[in-house]
Amino acid sequence: MRDTIHLVAVYSKTTMRAWFQYRVDAFLKSLAVFLREATGIIVVFFTLLKFDTLGGWNIYEMLFLFSILFLTYGIMIIFFTGLRDFGKTVRDGSFDRFLLRPRGLLFQIIFVNSDWFAALGHGGLGIALFLISAGKAGINWNVQNALYYVFTIAGGVLIQGAIFLFIAVLNIYLLQTDSLKEMLYWNMRKFAGYPISIFHKIIQTLMIYVMPFAFVNYFPAQYLLRKDDMNSYPEIFMYITPIVGIVMYLVAYAFWRFSIRYYKSSGN
Amino acid sequence: MSFIEVSNISKTYKISKRKSGVPGMLANLFVPKYENKEAVKNVSFSIEKGEMVGFVGPNGAGKSTTIKMLSGILYPDTGEINVSGLIPYKQRKEYVSRIGVVFGQKSQLQWDLPVIDSFELLKAIYSIPDDVYKKNLDRYMEMLDMDKFIKQPVRQLSLGQRMRADIAAALLHSPEIVFFDEPTIGVDVVGKDAIRNFIKDLNAEDGVTMIFTTHDMQDIEKTCNRLVIISEGSKIYDGTLDGVRKLHGSSRQLDVYFMNDSEVAEIPDVEIVEVDKRHSQFIFDGKKVHINDLMSHLLGTYNVKDINISEPDIESIIRKIYSREKVAG
């Protein structure tokens, strides 16, 4: 155990060093990610200045919804960069190197690389939006709500991590899943910035049961904000984000375990 | 029971057969067709502790697949591999902590970081005790002459330096078996020699078992005493390097240099290679063609400036073996 923690520390030190070799470049790249994502938010911001509310949500409530999405992604990418890039790892043969090291495969994939630019860009935006919105959205930050917030962020990280893991496993069978990820993950994520109640039933169903982004930010935000549109969903949905995260991750992990045998027996 | 025991391993890859054109693309998507390619067919061999064995064969012969199965990356479809009681592809973690692998074409070092940082990371990955790490590092630093570049980022190293660093990286945890996949590819002559000498010394001093794959017969000549030739997935030779030479022992090569430009006429049972107008090679079987007859024929017919007789080099022998059917192992 101590050995593993030590290794994680060395891995983190190494990846940080590699990413921050060129400090100015690192700063600019993180800033670029930040600005790219922030542009989308600014559009929403100005739209709402005109319309006041969207499906009953005012600007600060909306920004709070966004903040959870970005913060969870920022944290998630620290751990799951290796899964995001897993297709490349398999294609260029680096995965063989993992197989040659006396450590768990998923452990290596998770800790061997972290995209700190994406982490700082998305995470930084998430924190900025949180700071802008958390006070003005009218949330009572007592101990109970703060604790809820922490657990729900962890759950949201796990949900997205599980999706990444699942798509990464598909690489073992398909070798090229970038467009699949674009379709499943990124397109659905575009909806997740808004209260799902404004969308057609089909999209709502997708967001709850297929790519459950609704559990990443919408239902948790509902717990803290209690908007009227929550009435159309079961109340329990506001409490189960961490469970959804854990269950999804375990399922994805089982799929991974099953498939890795296939990799070893089939080559590539 | 030998240290490494490989019995009757086979491996078949499924290769998707792609059709072209729009209808073909749709067909690929919905009814993918696969073709089976037998990469390794029923290969067996055993290796003793401390041996140095070279695997050679043309591209796509099945060398790499064999090495991948031996190092635990792939399961064989049939057959078994046993390395001192361990099954590589089943007891992966335990097994790989006892082996080292150098891929000549694929560095395991961190591209943007100094060499020493990669070593420190490997120390943590393999849980190498401080004293062992220090001892090995000092030793390899000296043997591979690394102190000049150990603090430089890998991207700034020459190919020869990078390869030396990669070899040291694979050895830091004192493995019992080391696999070298094309360890001298692209390295200059001096660098190649440094690498070969290091490998030889390490084998002599520590008794590390070493398994190579290479295209460079010089690698084998200068390091290994045993050679396994693989062609089209099958083992076609397993024995000493001298043994290969003996199989073709009666073959001779005569290099003739002429005083002036000469057209060489055909001679029965002799293969003639015209290098240039004033230099031709005559390759023949010493048992079939008598050297005296050939020489007097040549001296009588042409205006000869110089003559040199030699055994064909190992490369041309191997090339001959590839192109021929199985030879007795």
ipTM, two decimals, is 0.80
Residue B99 has pLDDT above 90, yes or no: yes
Q: Are B104 and B163 in contact (CB under 8 A)?
A: yes
CA separation for the pair B143, A59 (Å, rounded): 67
User: How far is B203 from B50, CA to CA, in rounded Å?
Assistant: 7
Which chain B residue lies closest to A1 (C-alpha atoms)?
B127
Yes or no: say if B33 and B75 are a contact pair by the CB < 8 Å rule. Answer: no
Strand arrangement of the beta sheet that strand B4-17 belongs to: B33-47, B4-17, B78-83
Q: How many beta-carbon pairs under 8 angstroms link A with B?
A: 68
| Partner A contacted by B151 (CB < 8 A) | no
Q: Nearest Cβ partner of A99 from B11, B92, B117?
A: B92
Residue B294 pLDDT exceeds 70: yes
- In this complex, the residue of B94, B103, B117 whose CB is nearest that of residue A14 is B117
What's the whole-number average pLDDT of chain B?
87
CB contact under 8 A, B96 and A102: yes
Q: Look at B113 and A266 and tell me if their CB atoms are within 8 Å.
A: no
The pLDDT tens digits for A171-205 are: 888 766 777 777 788 888 888 888 999 999 999 99
Average pLDDT over every residue of A90-94: 82
| Best of A17, A100, A174 to mutate (most B CBs within 10 Å, chain B) | A100
B312, pLDDT greater than 80 = no
Neighbours of A251 (CB within 10 A): 13
A18 and B127 within 8 Å at the Cβ level: the answer is no
Could you tell me which residues come within 8 angstroms of residue B56 by beta carbon, excluding any fewer than 6 positions away? Answer: B63, B213, B214, B215, B217, B220, B227, B228, B229, B230, B318
pLDDT-derived band at B13, boundaries 50, 70, 90: confident
Q: Nearest Cα to A196, choosing from A204, A186, A205, A187?
A: A204
Per the CB < 8 A criterion, the answer to whether A78 and A111 are in contact is no
Asked whether residue B321 carries a pLDDT value surpassing 80, the answer given is no
Q: Which residues of chain A approach chain B closer than 8 Å at the C-beta?
A: 3, 6-7, 10-11, 14, 17-18, 21, 93-94, 96-97, 99-104, 264-267
Q: How far apart are CA B185 and CA B163, in angstroms?
A: 9
Residue of A nearest to B118 (CA): A14
Is B124 an interface residue toward A (CB < 8 Å)? yes
Mutation target for B interface from A2, A22, A264, A268: give the one with most B CBs within 10 A: A264
pLDDT value, residue B249: 63
b or e along B68-96 (b: 16 or more beta carbons within 10 Å of the residue's beta carbon)?
Answer: bbbbbbbbbbebebbbeebebbeebeebb
The pLDDT value recorded for residue A222 is: 93
* Percent of chain A whose predicted confidence (pLDDT) is above 90: 49
Q: For B229, left (φ over 0), alpha (ψ -120 to 50), or beta? A: beta
Chain B environment of A94 (Cβ under 8 Å) = 106
Taking Cα atoms as reference points, which of B217, B176, B199, B171 lies closest to residue B55? B217
Percent of chain B with pLDDT over 90: 40
Out of B83-87, B190-194, B308-312, which region has the weakest mean confidence (pLDDT)? B308-312
Q: Do B74 and A18 touch (CB under 8 A)?
A: no
Instruction: Provide the 3-class DSSP secondary structure of residue B12.
Output: strand
pLDDT band at A266 (very low <50, low <70, confident <90, very high): low
Q: With CB atoms and an 8 Å threshold, state whether A103 touches B71.
A: no
User: Quick check: B93 contacting A, CB < 8 Å?
Assistant: yes
**pLDDT given at position B328:** 42
Q: Which of A112-116, A144-148, B46-50 has the lowest mean pLDDT?
A: A112-116
CA–CA distance from A138 to each of A42, A181, A227 (Å)? Answer: 21, 36, 11
Per-position DSSP letters for A214-260, written without gaps between them: GGTTHHHHHHHH--GGGGGS-GGGGT-HHHHHHHHHHHHHHHHHHHH
Q: Within 10 Å of residue A47's Cβ, how many Cβ atoms?
A: 12
Give the closest-approach CA distance of B72 to chain A in angstroms. Answer: 7
Chain B residues closer than 8 Å to A265 by CB: 74-75, 77
Q: For residues B243 and B23, give the distance between their C-alpha atoms in angstroms, rounded to a whole number.
A: 55
Q: Report the distance separating Cα B270 and Cα A119, nearest Å.
A: 71
Cβ neighbour number for residue B215 with a 10 Å cutoff: 16
**pLDDT tier at A48 (50, 70, 90 boundaries)?**
confident
**Are the C-beta atoms of residues A65 and A153 closer than 8 Å to each other?**
no
Q: Do A99 and B110 touch (CB under 8 A)?
A: no
For tokens 């399922």, what's the residue?
A251
Confidence at residue B329, expressed as pLDDT on a 0 to 100 scale: 40
* Residue A56 pLDDT class (50, 70, 90 cuts): confident
Give A248's pLDDT tier (boundaries 50, 70, 90): very high
Give residue A267's pLDDT. Answer: 53
For A26, residues 6+ apart whose C-beta sits below 8 A from its C-beta are A19, A20, A116, A117
Q: Which range among A151-155, A161-165, A245-249, B263-267 shows the weakest confidence by mean pLDDT?
A: B263-267
| Residue labelled with tokens 């699942």 | A166
Contacts of B117 in chain A (CB under 8 A): 14, 17
Taking contacts as CB-CB distances below 8 angstroms, the residues of chain B near A12 are: none
Residue in chain A lying closest to B36 (CA)? A266
Asked if residue A43 has pLDDT above 50, the reply is yes
Residue A99 with chain B: CB contacts under 8 Å:
72-73, 92, 96
